[in-house]
């Protein structure tokens, strides 16, 4: 009987350690990231962009037989909207999207970010940018992580392929 109790305790300890290891390996929920504009793109290319950004996705649609060749399907809509934060993107797919002209990407809100992080975010969306010093500081922003974005033009939510960033060492 003592052997059975010992084996049961050993089994429970091993099970506890395995569960603890799995939880530690997962690292918790992913940090929300800005969602790129995927509307009008082929499904396989859109999924590649999401994977590169570390975002999960789920397809909505696909007809009766489902999605067999991903390159034959288009993303007609998405949730959340482009430029918003998310962890998982729902892709509404169809074989042909009615009246979906390709548009400039939606500008995310990068104010408050370092110039380095803002540049990464904008480049990931395919948006060109330029940084100008803000106020009386005439120094050029050479070391991007030392500068912060205080303002941007156009405003977040607008569609544009170019953003002008006003930066300062401290937006205070």
Bridge-based pairing state of the strands 162-168 and 148-153: antiparallel
pLDDT band at 15 (very low <50, low <70, confident <90, very high): low
Any domain includes 83: yes
Give Cα separations from 158 to 86, 145, 153, 162 (angstroms).
Answer: 18, 25, 9, 11
Q: Is the pLDDT of residue 50 over 90?
A: yes
Give Cα separations from 131 to 76, 86, 97, 125, 147 (angstroms).
Answer: 33, 26, 37, 17, 10
Any domain includes 7: no
Domain range spanning residue 37? 33-94
Lowest mean pLDDT among 41-50, 88-97, 101-110: 101-110
Helix (H, G, I), strand (E, B) or coil at 168: strand
**Residue 87 shares a structural domain with residue 37:** yes
Any domain includes 15: no
**Residue 79 shares a structural domain with residue 126:** no
**What number is the average pLDDT over the span 58-82?**
88
**Residue 81 shares a structural domain with residue 119:** no
Between CA 130 and CA 165 the distance in angstroms is 6
Task: Convert the pLDDT of each residue in 126-167 to its tens digit.
Answer: 888 888 886 555 666 767 778 999 999 999 988 887 889 999
Supply the pLDDT for residue 90.
Answer: 96
Between CA 40 and CA 142 the distance in angstroms is 37
Supply the pLDDT for residue 102.
Answer: 58
Beta bridge partners of 79: 90
**Residue 45 shares a structural domain with residue 90:** yes
Domain count, the chain: 2
Q: What percent of the chain has pLDDT over 70?
A: 75
Any domain includes 62: yes
Q: 38 vs 145, which has greater pLDDT? A: 38
């Amino acid at each position: 009987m003592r052997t059975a109790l010992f084996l049961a305790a050993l089994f429970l300890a091993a099970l506890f350690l395995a569960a603890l290891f799995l939880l530690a390996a997962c690292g918790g929920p992913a940090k929300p990231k800005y969602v790129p504009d995927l509307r009008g793109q082929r499904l396989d290319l859109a999924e590649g962009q999401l994977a590169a950004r570390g975002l999960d996705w789920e397809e909505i649609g696909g007809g009766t037989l489902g999605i067999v060749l991903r390159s034959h399907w288009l993303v007609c809509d998405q949730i959340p909207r482009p430029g918003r934060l998310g962890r998982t993107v729902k892709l509404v797919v169809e074989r042909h999207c009615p009246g979906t002209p390709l548009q400039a990407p939606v500008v995310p809100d990068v104010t408050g970010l370092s110039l380095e992080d803002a540049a990464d975010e904008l480049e990931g969306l395919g948006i060109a940018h330029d940084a100008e010093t803000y106020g009386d500081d005439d120094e050029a922003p050479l070391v991007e992580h030392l500068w912060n974005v205080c303002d941007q033009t156009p405003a977040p939510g607008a569609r544009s392929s170019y953003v002008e960033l006003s930066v300062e060492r401290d937006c205070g």
